[in-house]
Chains A and B, each alone.
Chain A
Amino acid sequence: MNLLDAVFQGLMLGGLYAIFAAGLSLIFGVMKIVSLSYGAFGVMAAFLALHFTEATGWSAVLSLLIVVPLMAAFGWALQRFVLQRTLGGSALPSILVTFGIAIIIENVLLITESADQKRMSLGWIDTAALELGVIRLGVYPLGLFIFSVLLFGILSLVIARTQFGRAVRAISEDAPTVELLGIRPKTIYAWAGAIALALAAIGGVASGIQTSFSPTSGGMLLIFAFEAVIIGGIGSLWGTFTGALVLGVAQTVGANFFPSQGILIGHIVFLIFLAFMPQGLSGRVKRS
């Protein structure tokens, strides 16, 4: 694999990471809600989609029409009735509850499914590719990349321009004051939870088509998304997008030089950012 091709493959891979990291960036980065169960939700959505396609024979993409609203509703209820109680003060309760949820989901999946690797197929699209000289772009990864640009565009417009987006940003700064202005933080938090799980579902299904997944692959999904958020800079959506691209390129270019060490190289690039550029690419000042 030549270097130029590796860079392009990395960008495509980054597009996939970006889709999955979008929800985490919103709740963990912008709203400062700790979530350790985000990866597990992605895997859960992938299994839901898998069963849906097996039962109906529809395409995995169409299954999103069912899986995404389902996960969004679940996210809303979870945030409203469980996670809301953990907000404020120490981070320990929310770390514990979300970690507990991740463990529960993982083990429920281990019982109901098997520990085997699963994968969803889109038929001929799986292997279709565009040949551009030395670069070979898969149709599906390219489609994902374009989709992720659109997704981040819509998401940042929502956060920047809408009433909901203003409320989200205001609450992450100072929830009690926002409440004085007649906005109910609980409602906003619940909707943010719904959006986050909808995004986790899209990301989980997208990655379940591109690579294989198993009940225990949630941890890795969470770690990649987290790395993208930190490299990009906490609190910035486009930063997360760029961070995901950096991570993807680091992994594929790294694997180009050190075969089968791509993931380690990606981690090391993350560590370098953490050590020398903790504010991330977007350069915003981090608030604890």
Chain B
Amino acid sequence: MTAAPTEVSQVRVTRWTRTSRFGTPAVTLIFVILFALPFMTALSNVRSVTDLLIFIILGSMWNLMAGYGGMESVGQQAYIGLGAYGFVVRADQLGINIFAAVLLAGLIAGVIAFLISFVAFRLVGGYFAIGTWVIAEIVKLIITQFPSLGLGSGMSLYAMSSFDRDLRIAVSYWIALGVTMLALITCVLLVRSGFGLGLTAVRDDPTAAATSGVDVSRAKRLVFVIAGIGTGIAGAIITISTLRVQPDSLFSVQWSVLMIFMVVIGGVGSIEGPIIGAIIFWGLREALADYGSLYLILLGVVAIVFALFFRGGIWGLIQRRRRFSVFPIGYSTSFDGAK
């Protein structure tokens, strides 16, 4: 209680650690280099990297919601579908500029996520997981009611026909890259803020967080909506690269399988984990694409092994000896020197 102020001043609290001071600029540099990728390599590769970026967005969003918010949704395909349909309606039927339409599609998914949260938040844990799955089914069944949305067979996207094929692939890549950066920046800023601290507290113990003054349902809702927006934008980007919306594939629970396996293998509850998971997932897919079912079985086994024995995922294994972070999200203390 009577500690002298001079003693306190010896401790320096910083947000930037030695690794993040190096890691963040490195990641930024990689992104800058990646912007030039369409000029450097074949378009088939650009297309493939676009898929990787979509995986990173989906993984980061799922991780934000599950790893920090403690909400393990199995129904995120609802927002992929909503984003995709929202994009086609904005871009084709209303003729809005495609870049604006991508963001609007995310916004629509976010608004619907906000509305859905009031029902979904009645459930927690495993009940929440299956409940969100049911809600995704409902969203699909409702969307396929409308003849103007192509009923059960979906629609084609025409807004991109003004671009030639090469430019279209490059444009969808650049959009994906820009959104990936935005998604990662959002995650870093959110997690590093006081709000993120509250959120982590909610994940670890909602009751204790509430007694410490965290508005639990507001915090969860905000993250749920952000994840909805990000996932919706990913849905719009998927549509730009496939040029079609098909309800059975967009609303497939396989998307949730992808997000969950990716995040858990990479490392849940860290910014770096989903990126690692996405790269592994993508690499495996490139290598095992011809095996289809066998590939999913393998992933299932790997994910189960991680869930049982390595809860922190690959990022957790990397950090086993020494904790470090690529992004400045925590606080670190250092002593300026002994008295």
Q: Which residues of A contact B (CB under 8 A)?
A: 28, 34-36, 82, 85-86, 90-97, 99-101, 103-104, 107-108, 110-111, 219, 222-223, 226-227, 230, 234, 261, 263-264, 267-268, 270-271, 274-275, 278, 288
Asked whether B141 is an interface residue with its Cβ less than 8 Å from the other chain, the reply is yes
Q: Which residues of chain B come closer than 8 Å to A35, judged between CB atoms?
A: 126
B119 and A92 contact, CB distance less than 8 A? no
A100 and B304 contact, CB distance less than 8 A? yes
Q: Report the minimal beta-carbon distance from A215 to chain B, rounded to whole angstroms.
A: 9
A95 and B126 contact, CB distance less than 8 A? yes
Asked whether B96 is an interface residue with its Cβ less than 8 Å from the other chain, the reply is no
17 A/B residue pairs, CB under 8 Å, sorted by A: A82-B308, A90-B70, A92-B72, A94-B126, A95-B72, A96-B304, A97-B304, A100-B261, A103-B296, A103-B297, A107-B297, A219-B253, A222-B130, A223-B133, A223-B134, A274-B131, A275-B118
Q: Report the minimal beta-carbon distance from B142 to chain A, rounded to whole angstroms.
A: 7
Contacts A108-B297, A219-B253 given: A100-B303 contact, CB under 8 Å?
A: yes
B119 and A99 contact, CB distance less than 8 A? no
Asked whether B317 is an interface residue with its Cβ less than 8 Å from the other chain, the reply is no
Q: With contacts defined as CB atoms under 8 Å apart, how many contacts are there between chain A and chain B in the complex? A: 119
B183-226 contacts to A, CB under 8 A, are none
CA distance A103 to B125 in the complex (A): 20
Q: Report the minimal beta-carbon distance from B41 to chain A, rounded to whole angstroms.
A: 33
A103 and B308 contact, CB distance less than 8 A? no
Q: Report the minimal beta-carbon distance from A199 to chain B, rounded to whole angstroms.
A: 17
B107-148 contacts to A, CB under 8 A, are 118-119, 122-127, 129-131, 133-135, 137-138, 141-142
Asked whether B294 is an interface residue with its Cβ less than 8 Å from the other chain, the reply is yes
B293 contacts which of A34, A95, A110, A234 (Cβ < 8 Å)? A110
Q: Which residue of B lies closest to A258 (CB)?
A: B145
Q: Which 8 A-B pairs have the closest CB atoms?
A: A34-B126, A91-B125, A107-B293, A104-B300, A96-B307, A100-B304, A100-B300, A264-B141
Asked whether B278 is an interface residue with its Cβ less than 8 Å from the other chain, the reply is no
A275 contacts which of B119, B138, B141 (Cβ < 8 Å)? B119
B308 contacts which of A86, A107, A263, A267 (Cβ < 8 Å)? A86
Q: Report the minimal beta-carbon distance from A221 to chain B, rounded to whole angstroms.
A: 12
Asked whether B74 is an interface residue with its Cβ less than 8 Å from the other chain, the reply is yes
Contacts A223-B133, A274-B119, A274-B123 given: A99-B257 contact, CB under 8 Å?
A: yes
Q: Report the minimal beta-carbon distance from B336 to chain A, rounded to whole angstroms.
A: 39
A227 and B297 contact, CB distance less than 8 A? no
Q: Which residues of chain A come closer than 8 Å to B293, judged between CB atoms?
A: 107-108, 110-111
Q: Which residue of A lies closest to B139 (CB)?
A: A267
B72 and A97 contact, CB distance less than 8 A? no
A267 contacts which of B70, B141, B268 (Cβ < 8 Å)? B141
B134 and A100 contact, CB distance less than 8 A? no
Q: Which residue of B lies closest to A224 (CB)?
A: B134
Q: Which residue of B lies closest to A98 (CB)?
A: B126
A96 contacts which of B122, B142, B260, B296 (Cβ < 8 Å)? B260
Q: Which residues of chain A come closer than 8 Å to B74, judged between CB atoms?
A: 36, 95, 99
Q: Which residues of chain A come closer than 8 Å to B308, judged between CB atoms?
A: 82, 85-86, 93, 97
